[in-house]
A and B are shown apart, each in its own frame.
Chain A
């Protein structure tokens, strides 16, 4: 392709970045609208045409969110969930991924097949029956219901990502450690973990986004408002003030910021070309 572009240089090399920038704008404009709507003072007449920037702009909506609902409490719940479930996910997926490389070929294939099959089970088909399992475990109506999925690594995909990463580590190093008398936990921790950092980062980000934005699980398994997380609180706010758009959009921005920040911190590892660490390759 590079040769083709050499033939028709000039025009092509300008064309591509411009189109790319337009596409980027297409994806950013909805997010811009979100921010603009959140800065609009309440009580103004509805606008008659497009407003690319509110005039006047105000941050007061961000303060008002905390007035009617205990938003800080919900934020705390969300934080408790992610700081528990993300490390738990890292622990369980990395142990399982490492252990899978130590299995015989036959059992490893079986396990991969089980994970792929589990990945295909429609999430909503286990909504109802998980309810009973959670009841039996005694985590229903507690933050525990949002943390328990960390036990299976949050998603079979994350276990697979860790398995693929550990498989790329030269197996002789584990072999050598075993001959030196290291147990499996020691091999996993001292030899394996330092060599799968990119995959750990990927699972951290993916599981963070998943649990931070999780709306259905708290909706289904948590009744007591004391344990609501931010996404459910956001819906609650909408039901409380269905026409206070600046307030609602401010709350939406607040819920979105951590997700975007984590993504920006990690994006160079996902979106940079020719990156050895990219778990999707």
Chain B
């Protein structure tokens, strides 16, 4: 009964993931058979300005997006995890943008950011932010990077639901007992709620970090096409361009290996932290 999933995993994940490794040492255009080039691709990568640019852009994105999304998901989960009038609807509203199909979602943001008639630049002056609004969100390098962070902030539904479920699992008696002992709201939050939430917070952080390295791809394709002047040519986008536009599958595979390395480091870190945290918890 396991065989369909085993066959599927082997064909669609294990073999493709392993095949990337030998391909990284070849030149392959998908038309003629691959040529072995040894470390040629790696050497090229190390002198490829665009590769480092993509790597840097991806890191900047992750460093901006992950904490913002985590903070948002946590704040909204704290706000909405308890029963109340209309709460189910409010939770649904927070999750709704997450289920909108990627391409529809991204086209919507292309409209929102439009410098002439996009709702965002109509809205910001109403809140006194008129000066902060760039004339063209997607026309400047920095503002385009910020725009992608803003657009994808609204898709924090998964972390929100996970944190809400974890909050609802915390026994209420613990907080009540602490309150009777004279603990203030802030103390309860920092001494009870957050420590009990720590494993789930950690899970959300790591999932979102790995996810964020790839998640802005569709947004990049539609909103900026990697520009302006490569500002949003994140690593996945640059890999895609090499493979699809330049038919350089070998070189794209070599850069994919870097992605494996980053993911591997993230997972190793995750295990290290979880183990450390568990030990501290048991002591």
Contact = CB atoms under 8 A, between A and B. Distances in A.
Contacts of B19: 129, 132
Interface in A208-246: 209, 212-213, 215-216, 220, 230-232, 234-235, 238, 245
Contacts of A129: 15-17, 19-20, 23, 253
Contact residues of A: prevailing secondary structure: helix
A133 B19 CA distance: 10
B4 A96 contact: yes
Interface in A105-127: 111, 114-115, 118, 120-127
B281 interface: no
Given A46-B116, A47-B117, A95-B1, A231 B102 contact: yes
A187 B86 CA distance: 41
Contacts of A260: 96, 99-100
A239 B96 CA distance: 27
Interface stretch (A58-66, A167-175, A263-271): A263-271
B82 A273 contact: yes
A130 interface: yes
B185 A37 contact: no
A99 B101 contact: no
Given A3-B179, A273-B83, A33 B210 contact: no
Given A28-B96, A50-B119, A126 B84 contact: no
Given A128-B243, A216-B217, A152 B179 contact: no
Interface string B108-146: 110110101101001100100000000000000000000
Contacts, number: 278
B120 to A, nearest CB: 9
Contacts of B76: 23
A142 interface: no
Determine which residue in B4, B84, B263 has the highest number of CB atoms from chain A within 10 A of its CB, and name it: B4
A77 interface: no
A74 interface: no
Interface residues of A, number: 96
Interface string B239-270: 11001100001001100100110010001000
Given A20-B86, A98-B1, A125 B100 contact: no
Interface string B75-106: 01001111111111111111111011111100
Interface in B147-182: 154, 161-162, 164-165, 168-169, 172, 175-176, 179-180
Given A151-B12, A234-B103, A267 B88 contact: yes
Contacts of B89: 24
A255 B101 contact: yes
A193 interface: no
Contacts of B188: 1, 4
B16 A130 contact: yes
29 contacts: A4-B175, A4-B188, A20-B90, A27-B94, A30-B109, A33-B108, A33-B111, A46-B116, A50-B126, A95-B4, A99-B2, A111-B2, A114-B9, A126-B16, A128-B20, A128-B249, A148-B12, A149-B12, A150-B8, A213-B99, A249-B107, A249-B108, A251-B104, A252-B103, A259-B99, A267-B92, A271-B88, A273-B168, A280-B165
Interface of B: 1-2, 4-9, 11-17, 19-20, 23, 30, 76, 79-97, 99-104, 107-109, 111-112, 114, 116-117, 119, 122-123, 126, 154, 161-162, 164-165, 168-169, 172, 175-176, 179-180, 184-185, 188, 193, 210, 213-214, 217-218, 222, 236, 239-240, 243-244, 249, 252-253, 256, 259-260, 263, 267
Top 7 closest pairs, chain A to chain B, by CB: A152-B8, A213-B101, A151-B8, A3-B179, A129-B16, A24-B93, A126-B16
